[in-house]
Structure 1
């Protein structure tokens, strides 16, 4: 009989954007995820790492996780729920509630576990039951592999020793699983960067030891029915359609604004997997002003006004705005000026990029004149142009002469 699972990852509970909390967005997105789990009658929910945004998540983030687990259990009473630690997660916190998790069919795996040196399949191998209650597949629950989890490489190898060790770890895990289940359908998880996957600039860390962070997709043998990956925020498959990143729930940075965020629904029938991306409605608008290119500073207020937003919009409902501005004059104080302007409108300024003029004057050429032979106003002109990349205006010169006259 076929079994259906919901694959999600990279929730980053507790995250902020330029100091703005994102809890309201998380609540909306996770409520949508629960609704999808219910409407698609899934038999399992797999969260492939980076549940939290930091190793010491705030109490609100932990409460939101447990609220979501409660809602998922109410929506799908018999579904198996599996939580994997990612590189952002405190593995111990994922595993600490294990005694309680066991009572409600939730599995939390924070680190690679061994018994007498061998992989603890009792922890890592999770049976997945179909609608009739029979075991239809197994899930090999593998969290982010930390340095202590990787086997030692005792001889010289071609290419990266870290990638070689990661390959050896997965080979050991999969072999241990196959020893238990034979050729039954197997789902494998991973929280790492698989070569060929597209990163979000500035959003994801290069996470394997020593910067050798990308493993080849053939790490996962073809007899694995599906590979549920976490870490990269763009929904995508790598190598083959059944090796997939579900992506994050909504944009975590401005580079992710154009992503089609969502979750992945996987139907496994025998050894074959059918994969479907299900989009999530964006809980809060994330805007880039302008959509392409840059605005002149004098155009910013009109762009804010053109959004046509209700001034009474609650803080949590206000869109995030990523502003790109071309400087037409001195940049000193421009960020503060634009920040103050943004506060007059019902938006949340998430980032501000100021682009200096492209044809800036070159730095003053070296001169053989002695300082006593230079005119103070000429020195002022050169210093101003060097610092601000434009020539001083008559107003600047008038202020200079006024200051010089006071001496």
Structure 2
């Protein structure tokens, strides 16, 4: 039996609205060191986005190397596999690979080939169980750049509606499997990936659409059925796909306000012969991340009192160190809200021991469907002014006033003059 911890999307060096996250990273990394001991982990996989930037600072680099050192000290026999994500510079990440091997850390950046064939020695990592026997292998693949994808020449739809990008990703994993099949010798095979798999729930504004050519996602069946478990990175919500064989471990703590409701942590993977079981291991948040109000919205005029009440309820001392202050996300009622509401929210929060990271207005109501008097009548037979009035009312839930109609007529006159 082999016990593996799957984690991803560390984003070391990240800041949230100007606030550094190093203290939080150090806290969750200390928890991770505790977990690998408690769970008697034989292996640890970091499935990409180790750093938040392709040009990480010296402090971020130092934090990574200190963490790998501490993990090795906590569990010396544990094999660690690190792959590059879209936020990482693959060459920079794997530059110290030979040095890191002394700590049983295997770093894999871009796909390596020799004479056109995959260099399987760079991508296949054996995993040993508590008795020292090879119990599984990791097929380590990073974020698939254009250079990594075989036969990628132009973007087009292929037979069956599958895009060339999806076909290239599918071919990449099949090629990798063919290259290592003889070396695996019947042991379970684990693959890594850093990309968006169709069906995965993404965080609003937090994860880029990263595949080449704007292709958003690949189906779960791009990973060959012979692979026992696919350890994914990129999406920050922990979630299963493909019946549980394919999984995102998620990020370690909220990286944006949209992740406030996520259950952050790591995944424990247990391989017993051909049987694979997974368990989500939650991690405590180093600092609170709160929504105000918990449900619904409040008026801007109520925000100051609500922030002060939150400080009182949490018993936050006025001299609380900035890196220990809670993050707060605010939802405001749209009615009567002026264009400078974010600046006013910041002003109300600046003297309090908390960090306001988002003040957002309630979303607009869904517009009513546009209904014309005679839907069978061509649009060209309707007066433009009538269509504008209908569209405005559907969107804004009211009729346009005289000033708004004047603007419409000005635009209409300009359009007529140009054409």
TM-score (norm 1): 0.86
Q: What's the CA shift string for 1:59-103, capped at 9, x where partnerless?
A: 111111011101100100011111100000010121100121122
For the 8 Å contact 1:297–1:327, the answer to whether it is kept is no
Partner of 1:350: 357
1:109-188 equivalent positions in 2, closer than 5 A: 109-153=108-152, 157-158=158-159, 159-188=162-191
Deviates further, 111-120 or 177-186: 177-186
Out of 331, 338, 341, which is 1:334 matched to?
A: 341
Aligned residues: 367
Q: CA deviation at 1:359?
A: 6.5
Partner of 2:192: 189
Out of 315, 321, 327, which is 1:320 matched to?
A: 327
Q: CA 1:360–1:300 in structure 2 vs 1: closer, same or farther (change >3 Å)?
A: farther
Alignment partners' CA distance in 2, 1:367 and 1:69:
65
Deviates further, 323-332 or 195-204: 323-332
Partner of 2:98: 99
For the 8 Å contact 1:297–1:328, the answer to whether it is kept is no
Q: CA 1:38–1:12 in structure 2 vs 1: closer, same or farther (change >3 Å)?
A: same
Partner of 2:294: 291
Alignment partners' CA distance in 1, 2:398 and 2:318:
39
Q: CA deviation at 1:361?
A: 7.9
CA RMSD of superposed structures (Å): 2.0
Alignment partners' CA distance in 2, 1:3 and 1:356:
48
Alignment partners' CA distance in 1, 2:259 and 2:84:
23
In structure 2, the residue corresponding to 1:193 is in which secondary structure? coil
For the 8 Å contact 2:146–2:152, the answer to whether it is kept is no
TM-score (norm 2): 0.84
Unpaired segments ≥5 residues, structure 1: 369-407
Q: CA deviation at 1:292?
A: 2.3
Out of 206, 210, 214, which is 1:211 matched to?
A: 214
1:2-401 equivalent positions in 2, closer than 5 A: 2-153=1-152, 157-158=158-159, 159-307=162-310, 308=312, 309-326=316-333, 329=336, 331-355=338-362, 362-363=400-401, 364-366=403-405
Q: CA deviation at 1:164?
A: 0.5
Q: CA 1:367–1:340 in structure 2 vs 1: closer, same or farther (change >3 Å)?
A: closer
Q: CA deviation at 1:183?
A: 2.5
For the 8 Å contact 2:325–2:355, the answer to whether it is kept is yes
Q: What's the CA shift string for 1:20-59, capped at 9, x where partnerless?
A: 1111111111111111011111011100000001110111
Q: What's the CA shift string for 1:169-206, capped at 9, x where partnerless?
A: 01001111212223321111000111111111111011
For the 8 Å contact 2:264–2:282, the answer to whether it is kept is yes
Alignment partners' CA distance in 2, 1:219 and 1:182:
22
For the 8 Å contact 1:163–1:213, the answer to whether it is kept is no
Alignment partners' CA distance in 1, 2:406 and 2:23:
60
Partner of 2:375: none
Alignment partners' CA distance in 1, 2:229 and 2:405:
65
For the 8 Å contact 2:157–2:163, the answer to whether it is kept is no
Q: CA 1:190–1:152 in structure 2 vs 1: closer, same or farther (change >3 Å)?
A: same
Q: What's the CA shift string for 1:252-306, capped at 9, x where partnerless?
A: 1111111110000111111221111100001111111112221111211121122
For the 8 Å contact 2:118–2:179, the answer to whether it is kept is yes
Alignment partners' CA distance in 2, 1:145 and 1:258:
30
Q: CA deviation at 1:312?
A: 2.2
In structure 2, the residue corresponding to 1:35 is in which secondary structure? helix
Q: CA deviation at 1:367?
A: 6.0
Alignment partners' CA distance in 2, 1:73 and 1:219:
33
Alignment partners' CA distance in 1, 2:341 and 2:140:
50
For the 8 Å contact 1:91–1:110, the answer to whether it is kept is yes
In structure 2, the residue corresponding to 1:263 is in which secondary structure? strand
